[in-house]
């Protein structure tokens, strides 16, 4: 859609079928496929032995730097995976200055559409490198062969615009925006249009049909490009939604399917902002993302601990100003949250 704000270049994205088998016909040889062990088992046959795999076993940046010399030489890199493999593929392609082709195997995160690799340094996320893929290949059969819950969970990467905007407006009203990121209505309006454009397709995304795949992937593509085009400014696409996820990760040490804790964070943030919380909760439920703590291997007590300590966490972590910095989250708030979620999803069985 036309906008006063030039969002600039988005990664070339191709939707189709049988796309893996085409890779050996055009990628620069020798071809290195960066993927996860289980995905290699699943997809190796498509490449007919014409590529060399590198199976990801770490996303630690220092470890990867040391390992680079041992990874077979290649004229191009193909990333094949949900998130981590695509990030490692970016890192290898960037380090070697060779062309990159990305093949997402599920719609879990917007990693295929971002320039930088989210690696860990000393256990903390840092986004490093620069990799613009020649193309992102979205193969309908590949995506549809992933667990539906994984594909649906990617909705978090767009629904989070809602809480991001509420946070940015709050920061503006409080005079607490960062000097480098003054409130920009054009960015907010652009993101809002993308979010609104997804609304008619919630059932398609739930069904993981072609329309749903196109809609969600195209929205994620916008997010990846706009982060860069806005000068690496995340204000219009991310806020308390992701902070809740970071806090849960920090306090529990658990690994998550990204979309579950982020969608929980969207509900928490909407409630704190008193901004369309019921609507967001019901949309998340309709797409089919289970945000009950038990569905992510957590207890309500763990969620309560993370939320009650959210303010201290975001302050210590130096995250950008929003509702998490000022809201006093009480056990009563968490009890209300639990009641709302249980009313919609039902109690956790067993
Ligand atoms: Zn995210």
Residue extents of the structural domains in the chain? 13-146, 149-345
Output the CA 161–ligand 1 centroid distance in Å: 10
Output the CA 199–ligand 1 centroid distance in Å: 19
Output the CA 2–ligand 1 centroid distance in Å: 25
Output the CA 326–ligand 1 centroid distance in Å: 23
**How much is the pLDDT for 5?**
53
Is the omega angle on the peptide bond into residue 206 within 30 degrees of 0, that is, cis?
no
Output the CA 50–ligand 1 centroid distance in Å: 34
The answer to whether 245 and 258 are in contact (CB under 8 A) is yes
Output the CA 4–ligand 1 centroid distance in Å: 26
Determine whether domain 13-146 maps to CATH 3.40.50.1970: yes
Output the CA 264–ligand 1 centroid distance in Å: 12
**How much is the pLDDT for 2?**
47
**How much is the pLDDT for 123?**
76
| 62: number of Cβ within 10 Å | 12
Output the CA 245–ligand 1 centroid distance in Å: 9
Contacts of 227 (CB under 8 A, 6+ apart): 114, 233, 234, 237
Output the CA 294–ligand 1 centroid distance in Å: 21
**How much is the pLDDT for 260?**
98
Output the CA 217–ligand 1 centroid distance in Å: 13
What is the spatial distance between Cα 73 and Cα 236, in angstroms, rounded to a whole number?
A: 40
Output the CA 48–ligand 1 centroid distance in Å: 34
Output the CA 237–ligand 1 centroid distance in Å: 9
**How much is the pLDDT for 125?**
82
The answer to whether 138 and 104 are in contact (CB under 8 A) is yes
Each residue's pLDDT, cut to its tens digit, for the chain (350 residues) gives 445 455 578 999 999 999 999 999 999 999 999 999 999 999 999 999 999 999 999 999 999 999 999 999 999 999 999 999 999 999 999 999 999 999 999 999 999 999 999 999 987 789 999 999 999 999 999 999 999 999 999 999 999 999 999 999 999 999 999 999 999 999 999 999 999 999 999 999 999 999 999 999 999 999 999 999 999 999 999 999 999 999 999 999 999 999 999 999 999 999 999 999 999 999 999 999 999 999 999 999 999 999 999 999 999 999 999 999 999 999 999 999 999 999 999 999 97
Output the CA 106–ligand 1 centroid distance in Å: 14
What is the spatial distance between Cα 269 and Cα 287, in angstroms, rounded to a whole number?
A: 19
Hey, what CATH topology would domain 149-345 get? Dehydroquinate synthase-like, alpha domain (1.20.1090)
């Amino acid at each position: 859609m036309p906008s006063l704000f030039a969002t600039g270049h988005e990664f070339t994205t191709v939707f189709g079928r049988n796309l893996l088998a085409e890779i050996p016909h055009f990628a620069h040889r020798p071809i290195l496929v960066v993927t996860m062990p289980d995905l290699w088992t699943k997809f190796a046959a498509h490449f007919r032995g014409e590529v060399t795999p590198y199976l990801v076993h770490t996303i630690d940046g220092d470890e990867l730097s040391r390992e680079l010399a041992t990874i077979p030489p290649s004229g191009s890199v193909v990333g094949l995976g949900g998130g981590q493999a695509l990030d490692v593929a970016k890192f290898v392609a960037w380090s070697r200055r060779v062309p990159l082709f990305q093949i997402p195997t599920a719609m879990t995160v917007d990693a295929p559409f971002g320039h930088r690799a989210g690696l860990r340094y000393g256990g903390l996320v840092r986004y490093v490198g620069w990799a613009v893929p020649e193309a992102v290949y979205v193969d309908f059969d590949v995506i549809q062969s992933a667990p539906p819950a994984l594909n649906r969970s990617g909705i978090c990467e767009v629904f989070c615009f809602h809480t991001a905007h509420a946070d940015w407006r709050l920061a503006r009203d409080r005079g607490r925006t960062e000097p480098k990121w003054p409130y920009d209505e054009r960015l907010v309006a652009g993101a809002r249009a993308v979010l609104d454009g997804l609304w008619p397709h919630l059932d398609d995304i739930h069904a993981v049909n072609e329309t749903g795949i196109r809609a969600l992937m195209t929205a994620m593509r916008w997010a990846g490009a706009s982060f860069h085009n806005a000068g690496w400014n995340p204000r219009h696409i991310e806020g308390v939604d992701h902070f809740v996820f970071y806090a849960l990760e920090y306090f529990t040490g658990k690994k998550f399917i990204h979309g579950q804790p982020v969608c929980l964070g969207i509900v928490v943030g909407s409630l704190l902002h008193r901004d369309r919380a019921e609507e967001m909760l019901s949309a998340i439920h309709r797409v089919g993302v289970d945000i009950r703590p038990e569905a992510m291997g957590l207890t309500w007590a763990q969620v309560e601990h993370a939320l009650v300590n959210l303010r201290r966490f975001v302050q210590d972590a130096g995250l950008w100003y929003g509702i998490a910095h000022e809201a006093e989250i009480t056990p009563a708030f968490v009890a209300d949250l639990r009641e709302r979620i249980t009313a919609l999803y039902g109690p956790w069985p067993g």
